[in-house]
Amino acid sequence: MTTLFSSHRIGQLALPNRVVMAPMTRVRAAAGGLATQSMATYYAQRATAGLIVSEGVQPSVIGQSNPGTPGLHTDEQVAAWRPVTDAVHANGGRIFAQLMHGGRVSHSSTIGTQPVGPSAVPATGEVFTPDGPRPAPVPRALETAEVAGHAESYAGAARRAIEAGFDGVELHGANGYLISQFLSSNANLRTDRYGGSVVNRTRFAVEAVAATVAAVGAERTGIRLSPGGGFWGVEESDAREVNTALLSELARLEVAYVHLEATADEEVLLGLRRAWPGTLVINPVFPMGPKQTDRADADRWLGLGADLISFGRAFIANPDLVERLRTGLPIAPVDEATYYQGGDTGYLTYGAYQHVA
C-alpha cells in the first residue's frame, strides 16, 4: 500500500518519502542575487523531505520579479549556491531549483528596465519593489523574434543549476508569471504563433521545457502549473483545454514530473491526472488560502492518484515536518509577518519538536 512515507523514484533520484517541500519566496538573498549561508542552513534543516524545490530563482536579470531573490545567471551565483546544495546533500536530501521568470510581474526599479510580457497588459495589483509596493506597470510586449531567447533562458539557468549542485530544476509555469502569462487567455493577446489558439498559447511553455530538457535531461526537468489560478489577474478561460494540451506535449518530452496546484475544481484536476502519464506532484490546497495542507489532505490525494504531495507553509515553521507527519505530532504555526522581512528571524528560528518529559 502506498503511503506518504513510501519511496518513489524521479529519474535517477530515489526519494525516501513522498513529501515535497514546495517552492516558497523568502527574499533572503544577498546583493547580486547571491545565495547565503543562512539559506544553506534553512534548506539543510528541511532535508528529510523526499524532495526540496527551492524558492523561485530568476534565470536572467529581466526575469527577476521581487527584490531580494536569488539568481542562476552568473558565475558568482553558481558559486554562492554550491554551499546550499552541498549542505542539503550532506544531510541526505535532494533539491531542485525552481526557475522563475516573472515577466510582467516586476518593476523597472527592480530590474532597471521595463518588464516584458506576452502583451502590453499589466498585472492586477501592486508588485514588490526596492521602494515598497508599487502599481504593476504596463509591460513591453515581446517581439516574436525575442520569445525564443526567453525560453532559452530557462535552459541556461538549468545548466548553471546542475553546475551549482542541484539535482534538477522545476520551471515555474504557475501563479501568473511568464509561462503562465503565455498560457493565459487575457494576458496573452498575441496574434502570432505564440497567441490565440490553445496550441499557440502553450508554445512558449513547450519551447522552454524542450530547451531545458535538451540542456540537462528530461529526468532532471519538472514544471509547476496552476490551472485557472487567477494569480496577478491572469485568467485561463479554457483551463481544462489549455492544460490538457500542454500535458500532452510534456508527456512527449518525458519530463520528470508535473507539479499541480489545487487551483481548479477537483474534476478538472482529476482529468489532468488522467491526461498525465508520469509522476504527479500535487499541492492539495489553494496557495496562500486560509487552510494549510495536512496529513489528511495528503492521504486523500495519494488515494486519488497523486504520486507526491507538496507542503508549503507548514515547512516554514516545521523543519522536521516529515517526522511530525509520520508520528502525528502537532504542526507549529508560522508567523506570517516574517515571511518577507529578511534576516534570520522567522527563517532559522524555528526548531524541531521538543518533547516534554
Specify the 3-state DSSP secondary structure of 51: strand
Specify the 3-state DSSP secondary structure of 165: coil
> For the chain, how many residues are written?
357
- Active-site residue among 43, 154, 177, 257? 177
Residues contacting 182, CB < 8 A, separation 6+: 118, 188, 194, 201, 202, 203, 204, 205
Q: Where are the alpha helices (DSSP H) in the chain?
A: 37-45, 75-90, 108-111, 144-163, 178-183, 198-216, 239-253, 266-275, 295-303, 313-317, 321-327
DSSP result, 175-230 = TTSHHHHHH-SSS----STTSSSHHHHHHHHHHHHHHHHHHH-GGGEEEEE-TT--
Q: Dihedrals φ, ψ of 314, to 5°?
A: -60, -25
The alpha carbon of residue 313 and the mean position of all alpha carbons in its chain are separated, in whole angstroms, by 14
User: 134-135 and 19-21: which strand pairing?
Assistant: unpaired
Catalytic, 340? Answer no
Contact criterion met (CB below 8 Å) for 118 and 190:
yes
| Residue 229 to residue 290: CA distance in whole angstroms | 16
User: Which grid cell sits at 259?
Assistant: 507539479
Contact criterion met (CB below 8 Å) for 7 and 16:
yes
Could you give the C-alpha distances from 108 to 104, 135, 140, in angstroms and in order?
A: 10, 11, 11
User: 116-117 and 308-311: which strand pairing?
Assistant: unpaired
Q: Which amino acid is at 339?
A: Y
Please identify every residue annotated as catalytic: 177
